[in-house]
Amino acid sequence: MSIATPLADTLDGYLEALLAGRSAITKWRTIPTERIYCKVGADLGDYDVAGAVAALEERTDAAVWRRLARLCRRAPWATALSMLSAVRAVDDATAHGASDSHETAVVVAGHNLTSGYVYRETMEFLEEPDFIDGLMSLHSLDTDHAGSVSEVLGARGPIYTVGGACASGNHALRLAVDEIRHRGMKAAVVVGAPTDFSPVDLHAMAVMGAISHESFNERPAEASRPFDTRREGFVPAHGAGALVIEDWEHARARGARIHAEVVGVEASADANHEPQPSGESQTRLMRRLLERCDLTPERIDYVNMHATSTHLGDLTEVRSIREVFGDHTKRLRVNATKSMLGHTTWAAPIVELVAAVLQMQAGRLHPSINVVERDPEVDLDICDDGPVACAVGYLMKTAFGFGGTNCIAILRHPEAR
């Protein structure tokens, strides 16, 4: 696994920051906000990519590092962060050269990934057309992420991007598992690519009423508040993460570091393109996933919730969990990683799945912060009193996206096999 967020860019640092209940949200530094309503977010736009690449030189395969350094010099910020995340995940998995390059797939989660880059190039075009990036027609494509990751890693299996709005990361995980189960791949690299927001994106979401912008522009750390009565929309965030998925026996045979086992991933749709989450769809999908995984609800110890800090979204998910888990709801632990990170949009399922797995390994769950006045309908154990000890054998990661797309995963601790 790997992670890159404003909280931390190492797995140990990420877990430490989450357990400490730190907020990543500040005023935007790298996005001009003078003419837009939203002033706050989790900003990684000034991340030192060159420094991060240099730090990998002594740790990673020499040929991979040379390709990474060369490609990152010209790549847009978001694409560079995707490549960096993939290489870090492969390093963490001790996977360089572990699989035939023709049996390694790359699946990138997300779409409209370069909106900020396109916006900046458009501004340049309006000033002087000939000064735009000469590679813009290539770099502006989402497929540039998958192609660049493939080139850096030397992966020659299938490569593609999958767009499912805020469920993209889980959709990508599902397809990666399918590549191994059904398509002959030995491994797949799943990249939760960062979204390069433009001011237009942020303003459009504010006009629609989707993101926080009314009450917390001067108190950024308080803006993301799932489960609290004063929540007013999600907080956009930069962030990326990556996973290396392998066949179990292949990983065991080569002595790989195994963080968790993917038990199952299932998807569904609401048949409604508007941002109105469906409790019926969420409930049906959770039940179908449990059935496909041959698990009863009582086997799930922890749910890392989608919990975006919107009024309708949070309550819909709470009601669905209550409906599916019944009496076990009283013993179930849940939390909201977005309360600290904000919403990393298309990458969120991967960024938050890394958080969930780290918590499972540590046996401790991070707090859901900013719950000052709990919504009376939120009657789950949301870990709002600080980090709590919890032995997790099985976890569920939920993800729901605009367009009525839903995707949920269940993972288990390797020792729970």
> Do 129 and 265 fall within a single domain?
no
- Residue 150: predicted pLDDT: 98
> Do 56 and 153 fall within a single domain?
yes
Residue 212 pLDDT > 80, yes or no? yes
Q: Which of 234, 253, 272 is the last residue of a domain?
A: 253
- Residue 121: predicted pLDDT: 96
> Do 223 and 271 fall within a single domain?
no
> Do 142 and 248 fall within a single domain?
yes
> Do 268 and 206 fall within a single domain?
no
pTM of the model: 0.97
- Residue 194: predicted pLDDT: 98
Count the alpha carbons within 13 Å of 390 in the hemisphere toward its beta carbon: 29
Q: Per residue in 100-134, pLDDT tens? A: 799 999 999 999 999 999 999 999 999 999 999 99
| Among 257, 324, 299, residue whose Cα is nearest residue 417 | 299
> Do 112 and 87 fall within a single domain?
yes
- Residue 416: predicted pLDDT: 83
Q: Give the Cα separation of 91 and 98 in Å (integer).
A: 11
pLDDT band at 274 (very low <50, low <70, confident <90, very high): confident
Q: Give the Cα separation of 2 and 333 in Å (integer).
A: 25
Q: Which of 203, 234, 253 is the last residue of a domain?
A: 253
- What tokens were used for 71? 């490609």
- Residue 386: predicted pLDDT: 87
- What tokens were used for 366? 């991070």
Tell me which residue range forms the domain holding 243: 2-253
Q: Which of 230, 253, 276 is the last residue of a domain?
A: 253
> Do 19 and 58 fall within a single domain?
yes
> Do 65 and 208 fall within a single domain?
yes
Domain count, the chain: 2
Query: Known catalytic residues?
Result: 166, 306, 343
| CATH number, position 139 | 3.40.47.10
Q: Per residue in 25-50, pLDDT tens? A: 999 999 999 999 999 999 999 999 99
Q: CB–CB of 28/237 below 8 Å?
A: no
3-state secondary structure 206-223: HHHCCECCCCCCCCHHHC
Q: Per residue in 136-153, pLDDT tens? A: 999 999 999 999 999 999
> Do 268 and 307 fall within a single domain?
yes
> Do 236 and 87 fall within a single domain?
yes
- What tokens were used for 349? 């399922």
Residue 417 pLDDT > 90, yes or no? no
Within 8 A by CB and 6+ apart from 294, the residues are none
> Do 214 and 303 fall within a single domain?
no
> Do 200 and 311 fall within a single domain?
no
